[in-house]
Amino acid sequence: MEVFPSPLESAKFIAEHSKDVSVDEEGARRVAESLFDKASAAEFGLAGWKSLHELNPRAADKEAVDWVFLVDTLNFSFWSEQEERKYLVKYKNKTYSGYWSLCAAVNRALDEGIPITSASYFATMTLDQVRHVFRSDTEVPLPLIEERHRVLNESGIILLEKFGGSFLTCVKMCEKSAQKLLHLILENFPSYRDEAVFEKKKVSFYKRAQILVADTWSVLEGKGDGSFDDISSLTIFADYRIPQVLVHLKAMKYSEELMKKLREGKLFQSGDKEEVEIRGCSIWCCALICKHLQELYQKKGQDMHEKINAVLLDYYLWDYARDHREDMKDIPFHRVRCIYY
Ligand SMILES: Nc1nc2c(c(CN[C@H]3C=C[C@H](O)[C@@H]3O)cn2[C@@H]2O[C@H](COP(=O)(O)O)[C@@H](O)[C@H]2O)c(=O)[nH]1
């Protein structure tokens, strides 16, 4: 059995050895304090996944779980070289960008009668069919379309051959354990193995694998097959937005040298030292914010273990980043073209 490093232990190790990125403990504490009142509000909770996002499934059934699997298999690399030239999808009179453009294209296909969330369909999709389903409403295509075609076919075939064609089978096999589901994903779906080598040590982030578990928990509303008793063991999902918002909120800092490269729009490779430091420090920084939030509630005699975890903190910070794009325009995000985030 393959050993998968823990993203949290990886993050601690990276943060302790990082040169160009640093976690600001005081800054993390201040962010926790600023979130304190919000954390007990409705929008911080699990219900926000559906109530705040009209493109997410309303249902909590097999089709909804398969929608989540398809979307999280393709949940990577939406950023555009030029802000004014990007992939956009119009759906029901609204134009979507970034991650939401992917969801809009999926829902558009379903409305057109294309069974895009069925493994029997995406296991044998041709590249032209993928191009059609994810066609752009601008002249800019969805990035990495060939890689998306490859991971769709690969994931569809595995889901058909090993799990009867539905991700709900995988969920049921894991007996309400987030960690078991995470490991089933990593053992069976190669495109989810988001790892690197740092200071000669194998480290992991598992961004898409962890968000797949989290979104499954969310779409099942934390009930039934989705009532994971260890959901708090997940970390945040190391994408290219969370680091940006953590630097904006002064909980994390970049060296002058790294900031210069980011401002120049340098294209990093997956696994580069700076990229690994950005992603690992983001995970560690959010673990500290979660810890401080729990301590603040304990001081008030409130046990918030059910309400405060890295998943809900991540969702909140990610939505915050989307809503504060303008305020954050001076904080560059790191640019990598890869299938991991
Ligand atoms: N850490 C974290 N990264 C996330 C998400 C999501 C979508 N989840 C939402 C869906 C339902 C829930 O309500 C969540 O709010 C996408 N991404 C990543 O962001 C990047 C896209 O950014 P932009 O170009 O600005 O759209 C890209 O790397 C993508 O993989 C998240 O939740 N957390």
Q: Return the ∠ at Cα 234 (arms to 52 and 213), rounded to 5°.
A: 60
- Mean predicted confidence (pLDDT) in 246-264: 98
Q: Is the CB of 239 under 6 A from ligand 1?
A: yes
Q: Is the CB of 319 under 6 A from ligand 1?
A: yes
| Residue owning the nearest CA to atom 16 of ligand 1 | 99
Pocket test for ligand 1, best of 50, 192, 211, 311 (most atoms within 8 A of CB): 211
Counting other chains too, the contacts that 127-134 makes at CB distance below 8 Å and 24 or more residues apart are 133/105, 133/106, 133/109, 134/102, 134/105
Mean pLDDT, rounded, of the chain: 96
* Distance in Å, CA 238 to ligand 1 centroid: 10
Q: Which atom of ligand 1 is nearest to the CA of 49?
A: 13
* Distance in Å, CA 75 to ligand 1 centroid: 8
What number is the ipTM of this complex?
0.97
Report the alpha-carbon distance of residue 273 to residue 196 in Å, rounded. 9
Element (H, E) at 332: none
Element (H, E) at 69: helix 62-73
| Residue owning the nearest CA to atom 12 of ligand 1 | 49
- Mean predicted confidence (pLDDT) in 52-61: 97
Q: Residue 132: pLDDT above 70? A: yes
Q: Residue 49: pLDDT above 90? A: yes
Report the alpha-carbon distance of residue 278 to residue 273 in Å, rounded. 9
pLDDT digits (tens, 9 = 90+) for 298-338: 888 887 777 789 999 999 999 999 999 999 999 999 999 99
pLDDT at 302: 81
Report the alpha-carbon distance of residue 258 to residue 19 in Å, rounded. 10
pLDDT at 1: 65
User: What share of residues in the chain are helix, strand, coil (percent, to 5)?
Assistant: 55, 10, 40
Overall pTM > 0.90: yes
CA distances (Å), origin 281, targets 108, 181, 208, 275: 37, 25, 18, 10
Q: Residue 78: pLDDT above 80? A: yes
Q: Is the CB of 241 under 6 A from ligand 1?
A: yes
Of the listed ranges 37-41, 163-167, 267-271, 293-297, the least confidently predicted one is: 37-41
CB 99 within 8 A of CB 129: no
Q: Is the CB of 75 under 6 A from ligand 1?
A: yes
* Among the listed residues 196, 174, 175, the one whose alpha carbon sits nearest the alpha carbon of residue 183: 174
Q: What residues contact 259, with CB distance under 8 A and at least 6 apart?
A: 332
Q: Is the CB of 208 under 6 A from ligand 1?
A: no
Q: Is the CB of 87 under 6 A from ligand 1?
A: no
Q: Name the residues annotated as catalytic.
A: 239
| Residue owning the nearest CA to atom 18 of ligand 1 | 239
User: CA torsion sign, 94 to 98 to 101 to 103?
Assistant: negative
| Residue owning the nearest CA to atom 21 of ligand 1 | 99
